[in-house]
Structure 1
Amino acid sequence: MYTGLQKSLPNCSINILKFVIRKYAVDTLKETGDVIYPPISDLSYRARIRRKDDVWYNKIKKIETVEEKLIGLNMPHYYGWKSLYLEEGNVPYNSLNHAQYITHTHVLNDNKLPEFYNSLITTEELNSLAQNMKKYIEDIIIFEYCHRLREQYISDEELHKEKIIQNAVTNAVVFQINRMMLAALSSIQTHLLDTEIDFEPRIETFWFAGGIERSPIAKRQRRRIKYLKKYADDPINIPVQYLGSPILQLRHSSPLREVISPIDCANPELTIPKFEFDPRVLGYRFSYRHATCIPGFWPGDAAEFGLLSYHSTNKSYFHSAYKEKEAITVQAIFASYSWLLSQAVYQGFTTVQDVTYPLVAQTVLTNGQYWSFCVYQLNTTLSHSEYADNNPMRNMCWITEPMPLFEKVEDGKVYGFNEDVLKTLITFYINRPEQKNEYMTPYLGESVKHIADIADVEQRTWLESTFKHLMSNRPRHVKKPEIYHWQKIYKIDNKTRPMDKKRDPWEFGWSGMKRRLNQHAPRYVPKCLRENPKLKKIGRFAKQYYPDA
């Protein structure tokens, strides 16, 4: 600055300029005692990636509505995340450690439910209720297994398939038992009068699981780049998408009480097995899907907390009798964790913003004859990046062994009815939810929590349409760009066709999979529908209201 001014000013003014600069420089030096300097940032590759992720996480945290948060999770990818695809009932062999690791779950191996359930009702009252219901439960079993005609809703071709018949029997038994339980207990447990029932609802959940090692192909690609060579073995985050459908679920406007204190769930003695291998070694697969979180209902429903859910074990494939309990445990972990996480998302939490209070779910897994009961407490949703191994909080899972409700049904009679199963089921229904004293939605807006609360009609309509389209997971009208085999062989590996015209995006150095959700042409507005048709360039395209994420 001084050199530039010296050339433009006459010689007589140089001394004056030196005096002014020296004066203010001295005054500035005297005032540096109270200056707050910015923090010195770590410029390493890992630190820069972490800061970049934190910026995105904070943007999602500041979004006010539930639906816009879910749209923000989908913003980085136009064609969806390449996610680990988990489907209810698909339980690969020896996958329990993997299920615990990516959900940060500790499983208690005593095959018992928490002591909390022993204090819900006295033994005399429980025995009395079980005796009164026993006859009705036996009638339901006899009717569904012996006398029910299913030709009306099952085709003749499917009637000879044992699996379809077994699924139909299981669903019918659960429907009738739930109906009878609500009718018998609603008079003494008034919270059951306010429950909502969903039949075969849609349960979908998305989260990030960290600490997974890279595939050999990804490692080789990184070793070819000079500045990434030493980071080739760093673990990665994998997006996980779960899809499930219980037989039925009950939900309430208030959450269930916590089983144990979250402070006790931070005990380092509660171990979680490590499984850092690529999930494809177990038989799982990856697929491109948009991030969806749906606990069986849309945002804004009054009954937004789960009370009880029934899941069929007929879909699970058990490789041996020894691994049957393990397969049921895997199914219970994924079903419970996914249902609770999607409920937490509707409260403003996400896979990158941890819950501030625990959520509890009661899960029943049955094939009609054998019943297994699970209680799951969600204490944390952070299982990505460094939280995969350094998060002290554990999610807790209590699960019982499969217990037979009856031994067999012959000649219109039930043999070997097990009242312990009925008593356990009764305690699940009488577990009363309670409203918490703390603020339930700290990461949502005060007045605007859902899209329906937005006053602008055009913005509300656009966000609703975009949200429902993403949650439907319909394919894009333009397919994902890909490199065909002949292009890989002749153009990339061997470069034998230099005269071919470049037509695909990858030939110009652009990856179509890095396309963001908002990178598309806006909807065209016909001239007759514009606010000012006389202006040619203003109002030609409709406004877009993507969140800043």
Structure 2
Amino acid sequence: MMAVVCALREKVVHLIKLRQQCVAAIRNSVKHNFSVSANEAEYTERPKYPPILDLSRRAIRERKEREWHEKIRSLETVEEKLFALNLPRYYGWRSLMLTEGHLLYDTFKFFRYITRTQFSSVEELPFSFENNGTLSDNLFNKIKNDVQDALVLEYKCRRRKEELDGRNNLDEGKMENAVAASVIKQINRILLANLSPFIPHLLTAQVDFEPRVEAFWFVGGMEPSRRQRKGREGMKFLTKEDVERPADRPVQYLGSPVLQLRHELPLPVVNTGRLQPEGVSSIEHFQFDPRVLGYGFTHRNGTTIPGFWPGDDCEFGLTSFHTRGHLYHRREFCSTYDEEEALHSQAILASYAWLLAQACYKGFSTYNDVTYPFVTQTVVTNGQLWSLYTYQLNTTLVHSEYALRNEECNFCWGTAPLKLFEEVQDTEVVGFNDKLLKMIIALYTTAPQERVGVNLRPYLKEGKHLVALIDDPERREWLETRFKHMYSCRPRMRLPYELYHWEKIYKVDHKTRPMDARRRPFELGINPFRRQYDEHVPEYIPKSLRPEEDKKTKWKKTYYPLSENVYKKSRK
């Protein structure tokens, strides 16, 4: 018995000593790790607390949107920024489609709102005052004679394909566009040939004929559609205010001017304070669904192209020329009282879209505002009537709360339609307008200027702002191929999801088939149009083509910006 007691006593003593050693070791480690000298920089006069975040649903949504905008701004190349805008939608955004030749009745207020533009009707454009005295009389007379000869040729001595193909059923709108395009090209040729020896910037300017001009942006402040309201009503914890919250609408513009001139340097900035006359039309809030005007929506990739691909040296627009033959078709279903406003709307939309596309090539976007103004000149004509415009882009933020609270706005100065001549009789032009010709010449003589002290690409990586400049050949080729495929807007290999009429009647509206198996997306609570662009299986690598050092990798790498593909790691 005594032996057992002694053994237990020894074990207890051993455990006590072991406990004391553990406590001493812990104390030594604490002293070693945390016993440091006080740093005065760690102490402040007032305590600093982490920010208190608003945890409401609206505040959380706004923070997520701002994080998305910052991620787009952090991308280093132009193509990746444009690519990232389409990542949330595999089948494309459900965009409001606007085309240059489709102007409906009473849309002037709507176009000024979605582009945040103040319009001023003027007799002469801002740059006309500075270029009136730069042309000699002899040179002007030579240009005038050449232009008159070109007008006689186009209106009296030339037979066009449009006339020969449809001699009995001429479409007046298309015929007018054909004549206007020929006159524009003739005048452009004459002015470049005569002015280039005296105007240096015209020697290096690029001329694009019928370029592809497209722009994509988001507009906020509009009432939600019936479909959006119905979707919000089905969500839990949403109040009535959340259901009626204004929605952002994607806008896609498609245009093709007759020709446009570009240069390496931008046009000078217009002093808006000095040139804003009284009676300027303000920007009114247009809160209604755009379908009330007659426009429609369709699923499409958001594309932004100023008529050339990224990497061209001449990235700043000088002047673009557009036709107005669409007014003939417009008179069939619209009033003729707002034709002048329709021309102003066409110029505003075309100018904003072209400048927005140029700004996107400099690293800006519909979410990241421009840091310096972009300026362009626009002409809308049918050969005889000419409307001249100057447009200055000061902001691209028209989404969400910026649609109403943005302090910046864009400016447009435009003239009423002016006649270049009264008529063409045989070999003579009657009533030629010398003043209008000088105004057209001033569009060419306005010299672009270098922006001193301005970083033209503040949101792009210096020296690596294009995909073509990426060092990794695999990533460079992948991004270039996928970017061009996205901007081709070809239809998908598989047709998009469709809800059949019998399903809409018997399963959605009236729910008369409760025993059917639930296999369709709308029965499982899935919205197929919410599928992201990178949600697909990457390209498979055959086993014989896999590298020797990594035979287990089944899928090729993907380089989507701001994306982590679920198939990035190989599946065994």
Match of residue 430 from structure 1:
445
Match of residue 175 from structure 2:
165
Match of residue 383 from structure 1:
398
Distance across 1 between alignment mates of 2:163 and 2:307: 24
Tell me the C-alpha RMSD between the 2 structures. Answer: 2.9
Distance across 2 between alignment mates of 1:520 and 1:226: 30
Q: Give the deviation of 1:158 after TM superposition.
A: 8.8
The aligned amino acid for 2:520 is: D
Tell me if structure 1 keeps the 8 A contact 2:174–2:325: no
Q: Give the deviation of 1:97 after TM superposition.
A: 0.7
Match of residue 345 from structure 2:
330
Q: Tell whether 2:117 aligns with 1:117.
A: no
Match of residue 393 from structure 1:
408
Unaligned runs of 5+ in 2: 1-14, 564-572
Q: Tell whether 2:503 aligns with 1:487.
A: yes
Q: Give the deviation of 1:259 after TM superposition.
A: 1.0
Match of residue 252 from structure 1:
263
Q: Give the deviation of 1:445 after TM superposition.
A: 0.7
Tell me if structure 2 keeps the 8 A contact 1:524–1:541: yes
1:250–1:287 distance in 2 versus 1, CA, 3 Å: same
Distance across 2 between alignment mates of 1:397 and 1:490: 53
Match of residue 473 from structure 2:
457
User: Could you tell me which of 405, 419, 423 is aligned with 2:420?
Assistant: 405
The aligned amino acid for 2:244 is: D
Tell me if structure 1 keeps the 8 A contact 2:163–2:170: no
Q: Give the deviation of 1:308 after TM superposition.
A: 0.7
Q: Tell whether 2:559 aligns with 1:548.
A: no
Q: Give the deviation of 1:224 after TM superposition.
A: 4.5
Match of residue 459 from structure 2:
443
Q: Give the deviation of 1:297 after TM superposition.
A: 0.2
User: Given the two structures, how large is their TM-score scaled by the length of structure 1?
Assistant: 0.90
Match of residue 366 from structure 1:
381
The aligned amino acid for 2:78 is: V
Distance across 1 between alignment mates of 2:446 and 2:298: 39
Q: Give the deviation of 1:422 after TM superposition.
A: 0.4
Q: Which moved more, 1:426-435 or 1:228-237?
A: 228-237
Distance across 2 between alignment mates of 1:348 and 1:132: 43
Q: Which moved more, 1:79-88 or 1:128-137?
A: 128-137
Tell me if structure 2 keeps the 8 A contact 1:111–1:398: no
Matches within 5 A, 1:512-531: 512-531=528-547
Tell me if structure 1 keeps the 8 A contact 2:102–2:326: yes
Q: Which moved more, 1:34-43 or 1:204-213?
A: 34-43
Q: Tell whether 2:228 aligns with 1:185.
A: no
1:443–1:261 distance in 2 versus 1, CA, 3 Å: farther
The aligned amino acid for 1:87 is: T
Q: Tell whether 2:156 aligns with 1:146.
A: yes
Q: Give the deviation of 1:341 after TM superposition.
A: 0.3
Q: Give the deviation of 1:45 after TM superposition.
A: 1.7
Q: Give the deviation of 1:273 after TM superposition.
A: 1.5
Distance across 1 between alignment mates of 2:203 and 2:113: 38
User: Could you tell me which of 232, 236, 239 is aligned with 1:222?
Assistant: 232
Distance across 1 between alignment mates of 2:190 and 2:121: 32
The aligned amino acid for 2:353 is: S
User: Given the two structures, how large is their TM-score scaled by the length of structure 2?
Assistant: 0.86
For the pair shown, the structure with the greater C-alpha radius of gyration is 2
Distance across 2 between alignment mates of 1:239 and 1:324: 27
Q: Give the deviation of 1:364 after TM superposition.
A: 0.5
Match of residue 59 from structure 1:
71
Match of residue 120 from structure 2:
108
Q: Give the deviation of 1:533 after TM superposition.
A: 9.2
1:289–1:534 distance in 2 versus 1, CA, 3 Å: closer
CA distances 1:98-129 after superposition (whole Å, capped 9, x unpaired): 11111110001344422x42122417x36554
Say which SS state the counterpart of residue 82 (structure 1) adopts: strand
Match of residue 50 from structure 1:
62
Q: Which moved more, 1:524-533 or 1:89-98?
A: 524-533
1:235–1:264 distance in 2 versus 1, CA, 3 Å: farther
1:426–1:158 distance in 2 versus 1, CA, 3 Å: farther
1:497–1:370 distance in 2 versus 1, CA, 3 Å: same
Distance across 2 between alignment mates of 1:78 and 1:229: 30
The aligned amino acid for 1:150 is: R
Matches within 5 A, 1:71-86: 71-86=83-98
Match of residue 12 from structure 2:
none
CA distances 1:528-549 after superposition (whole Å, capped 9, x unpaired): 43223982x31x2211100016
Tell me if structure 1 keeps the 8 A contact 2:105–2:335: no
Distance across 1 between alignment mates of 2:336 and 2:524: 56
Tell me if structure 2 keeps the 8 A contact 1:262–1:379: no
User: Could you tell me which of 258, 278, 282 is aligned with 2:289?
Assistant: 278
The aligned amino acid for 2:131 is: L
Unaligned runs of 5+ in 1: 1-8
1:363–1:157 distance in 2 versus 1, CA, 3 Å: same
> How many residue pairs were aligned?
529
1:541–1:312 distance in 2 versus 1, CA, 3 Å: same
Q: Give the deviation of 1:485 after TM superposition.
A: 1.8
Tell me if structure 1 keeps the 8 A contact 2:121–2:416: no
Distance across 1 between alignment mates of 2:50 and 2:371: 30
Tell me if structure 2 keeps the 8 A contact 1:170–1:368: yes
Match of residue 309 from structure 2:
298
Q: Tell whether 2:488 aligns with 1:477.
A: no
Distance across 1 between alignment mates of 2:389 and 2:176: 22
Say which SS state the counterpart of residue 60 (structure 2) adopts: helix
Distance across 2 between alignment mates of 1:262 and 1:60: 33
Tell me if structure 1 keeps the 8 A contact 2:265–2:449: yes
Match of residue 359 from structure 2:
344
Tell me if structure 2 keeps the 8 A contact 1:369–1:406: yes
Q: Give the deviation of 1:500 after TM superposition.
A: 2.4
User: Could you tell me which of 53, 62, 67 is aligned with 1:41?
Assistant: 53
Tell me if structure 2 keeps the 8 A contact 1:251–1:308: yes
Say which SS state the counterpart of residue 227 (structure 1) adopts: coil
Tell me if structure 2 keeps the 8 A contact 1:105–1:272: yes
Match of residue 414 from structure 1:
429
Q: Give the deviation of 1:491 after TM superposition.
A: 1.6
